[in-house]
Amino acid sequence: MSVLEKQVPGVVMTPDNIRSRKLPVVTNVVIAVAAFAIAAAIVLGLDIGNWVLVAVFGAAFYLIGLSVVAGRIEGKRAARNRTMKALIYTACVLAVLPLISVIWTLVTKGLARFDADFFGSSMNNIGARDANGGAYHAIIGTLEQVGLATLMAVPVGVLGAIYLVEYGRGKFAGTVRFFVDVMTGVPSIVAGLFVYTFWVLGVSPIFNDGRPQASGFAAAMALAVLMLPTVVRSTEEMLRLVPGPLREGSYALGVPQWKTILRVVLPTALPGIVTGIMLAVARAAGETAPVLLAAGGLAAINFNPFEGGQSSLALFVYQQAGDGSKFAPDRAWTAALTLVALVLILTVAAKLLARRNKLSR
Amino acid sequence: MAKRIEASNVSSYYGSFKAIDSVSMTVEPKTITALIGPSGCGKSTFLRSINRMHEVLPGARIEGSLTIDDQNIYDPDVDVTAVRRMIGMVFQRPNPFPTMSIYENAVAGLKLNGVKKKSVLDEAAEKSLRSANLWDEVKDRLDRPGAGLSGGQQQRLCIARTIAVQPQVVLMDEPCSALDPISTLAIEDLMFKLKDQFTIIIVTHNMQQAARVSDKTGFFSIEKTGDPGRLIEYDDTQKIFSNPSQKKTEDYITGRFG
C-alpha cells in the first residue's frame, strides 16, 4: 500500500457523497435579526451603553449563532468557512466605521463656520468676543510649508531611492537603508526641535541682524525631515517592483542605464511613487509640533515663508481647540474639515496627473 | 551588414561560480546558429556574454575574448551601449514596456537613443513591425498599450523593437518557450526572413526547432551540478542531428541523456 492510499484516521479522502446541505439565506437573516434584538434588549434593558455597544454585542452574538446553526445544518468545515468569512466582513466594517464616524463628525461640526469669512480672513485682531475670524493665514501657511517641504523631500527622496535600488551595493547602501528606517521612527517634535536649534537658533540669525527668526521655511525643513523616509521607502518598494527583464530589455536596445531609469523604470513605477509621496504630504500637512516650534504660529497673514512667523491648519486647529473663546471650537472644526478636504483634493489631483494620460488601464 | 562573431576561450563567472568553461566558436554572418543543451549548462550565459548583458548581474564577469568582425567587445575602451546596439537581444518572456503604446514600443530603441524626427520614427515603426510580421495585426491600434497584445504578438513586438535599431546580430534566448505552436511557427518563419539581414543566434530547448531553423548547432553540457558548462560539439545542424561525432551529443539528441 502506497503512502497515498493510506487513510488518515478521521479524514475521508474519497467521500461517497459530494453534496451537502446549504444554510438558507432566510436563516442567515433571522440569526442576524435575532442577534441584534437580543443585544439591544440586553444593552438597553440593563442601560449599560448606547447603540455602539449594541452593534458590538450584536456582531458577536451573530457570529456565535451563525457558527452554531451552520454547524448543525452544513457540517463542521462549511460552518467554519462561513463563520470566518462573516468574521472578516465584520472586521472590515469595524475598520471602516471609525473613518466614516470621523468624516461625519468633521462635516457636521465643520459646516458651522464653512463660510467666506473663514476662508477670507485671518485671526489678526480677533478677540475672545469676536464671532468672526478665519484660517486664511493658516491655509497659506500649510500650502507654502508643505509645498516647500515637498520640493525639498521629493527630489532627495526619489533620487536616494533610485540610488538604493539601481546603484547601491555593499556596506554604504546598507547603512543608508538602515538610517532611513531609523528616521521613519523620529517623532515629529524631535524633527521640530532639531530645526529649531539648527536653523532658527543657529543659522537664521545670520540673515536677520543676529536675532533668531521663526519662519515657514524652517517649518518646511522640519516637515521635509519627516517626509524624507516615507518618500525613500515607498519609492524604493515601487522601484523594486519593476521587473528586471524590463530593464534588460532596455539595456539590450543599447540604452544607457540613466536613460533606462528615467524613461522606462520611473514611468512604470510612477503611480506607486506618487501614492507614496501623497502619503508623506498628508503626514506633513497634519503635523502640529514642528510648525509650532519652527514657524511660531502667527495670527496675521504672512505670504513670505522666509521671513517672519507663519501658522498652519494643524496648528490653527490645535490653538483654536484650546482657546477659551466660545467661538473658537467652531473655527477648529472647520479648519480640521478644511485640512482633510485639502489633503483629499491634493491626493486626487496627484493621482489623476500620474495616471498615464493615453494608456490608462 | 551582418557580422561574424568569434568567441575564443570564453569563460563566464557569477561571483566565484564558473558558469561556462572556455567556449570557442565562430558564427558566420547571415546564418542561424542554435545553442542546445540541458538546463543549467550555460547556453543562456554564453548568449548573454555575446552582447555584454551577462555583466548586468552583480558579480558577473568574463574571461577570454569575444570579437565581432575582429573588434574585441570586451576591450576596456569599448562602449557597452554601442555593443548592445550592434547586437540586439530577444528574451525568453516577452517584455514590452508597459507604459508605452505599440508604436512607442516598436521605436523605443530609436526614441531612447535620441531619434526625434517623426517621419523617421513612423517609417522605422512600420518597417520593423512589417519585418516582424505584426503590422497587419496592429496597424489600426498602434496607440494601444503594447502589454495588451497576446503573448505571441508581444514577442513579435519585442522582435520588432530589437530590429528597429538595425543591429547586426540578433540573439534570441528561448524566444518561443512561452508561446503556443502557432505563434512559434510565426516566429520561426520570421527568423528565416530575418536571416537575409542579420546573424541570428538562438538558445532553444526544442530540438525540433533547432533542427528546423538553424544552419549550425552548438551542444552545451555539464558533467554534474556545480560544474561549469562546456561546448561539447559545434557543427552543421545536419551533421549534429544525423551523425554527431560525440557520444554525449548523440545521447542528448536521442533522449538518452542523464
User: What are the distances in angstroms from CA B137 to CA B2, B102, B130, B132, B147?
Assistant: 28, 11, 10, 11, 15
Residue B56 lies in a domain: yes
Note the pLDDT of residue A182: 92
Q: Residue B84: list chain A partners with CB under 8 A.
A: 251-254
Written in H, E and C, the secondary structure of B192-220 is HHHCCCCEEEEECCCHHHHHHHCCEEEEE
Q: Residue A246: list chain B partners with CB under 8 A.
A: 95, 97-98
- pLDDT higher than threshold 80 for residue A6: no
pLDDT digits (tens, 9 = 90+) for A117-150: 899 888 888 888 888 888 999 999 999 999 999 9
Residue B176 lies in a domain: yes
- The dihedral over CA atoms of A206, A210, A216, A220, expressed in degrees to the nearest 10, equals 40
pLDDT digits (tens, 9 = 90+) for A301-341: 999 998 888 999 999 999 999 988 889 999 999 999 999 99
d(CA A280, CA A158): 12
In contact, B51 and B29? CB cutoff 8 Å: no
d(CA B257, CA B255): 5
Domain extent, residue B16, equals 5-253
Note the pLDDT of residue B258: 46
For residue A301, give the DSSP letter. -
Q: Cβ of A101: how many Cβ atoms within 10 Å?
A: 11
Residue B210 lies in a domain: yes
Chain pair A-B, CB pairs under 8 angstroms = 77
Q: How confident is the model over A178-203, as a mean pLDDT?
A: 93
- pLDDT higher than threshold 90 for residue A192: yes
Closest approach of chain A CAs to the CA of B104, in angstroms?
A: 11
pLDDT digits (tens, 9 = 90+) for A239-292: 999 998 999 999 999 999 999 999 999 999 999 999 999 999 999 999 999 999
pLDDT digits (tens, 9 = 90+) for B172-193: 998 888 778 888 888 898 888 8
Supply the Cα-derived Rg of chain B in whole angstroms: 18
Give chain B's domain count.
1
Q: Cβ of B135: how many Cβ atoms within 10 Å?
A: 18
Question: How deeply is A19 buried, as exposed, middle or buried, from its count of CB atoms within 10 A (0-12, 13-18, 19+)?
Answer: exposed
Q: Which fold has domain A119-354?
A: MetI-like fold (1.10.3720)
The closest alpha carbon to A188, from A159, A148, A152, A230, belongs to: A230
Residue B125 lies in a domain: yes
The sign of the dihedral angle between the CA atoms of B245, B247, B65, A247 is: positive
d(CA B1, CA B199): 9
Residue B258 lies in a domain: no
Do A264 and B143 make contact, defined as CB atoms within 8 angstroms?
A: no
**Domain boundaries along the sequence of chain A:** 21-111, 119-354
Residue B230 lies in a domain: yes
Of A245, A252, A359, the CB nearest to B145: A359
Residue B165 lies in a domain: yes
B18 touches chain A (CB under 8 A): no
Note the pLDDT of residue B225: 78
Residue where the block lists cell 517621419: B119
d(CA A18, CA A37): 37
The interface predicted TM-score (ipTM) is 0.89
Residue where the block lists cell 548573454: B48
d(CA B107, CA A146): 40
Q: Residue B112: list chain A partners with CB under 8 A.
A: 250, 253, 255, 259-260, 263-264
- pLDDT higher than threshold 70 for residue B1: no
Q: Residue A356: list chain B partners with CB under 8 A.
A: 99
Do A254 and B81 make contact, defined as CB atoms within 8 angstroms?
A: yes
Q: Residue A267: list chain B partners with CB under 8 A.
A: 99
d(CA A224, CA A277): 11
Q: What is the CATH number of the domain that holds B54?
A: 3.40.50.300
Q: How confident is the model over A159-173, as a mean pLDDT?
A: 91
- Closest-CA residue of B relative to A168 is B58
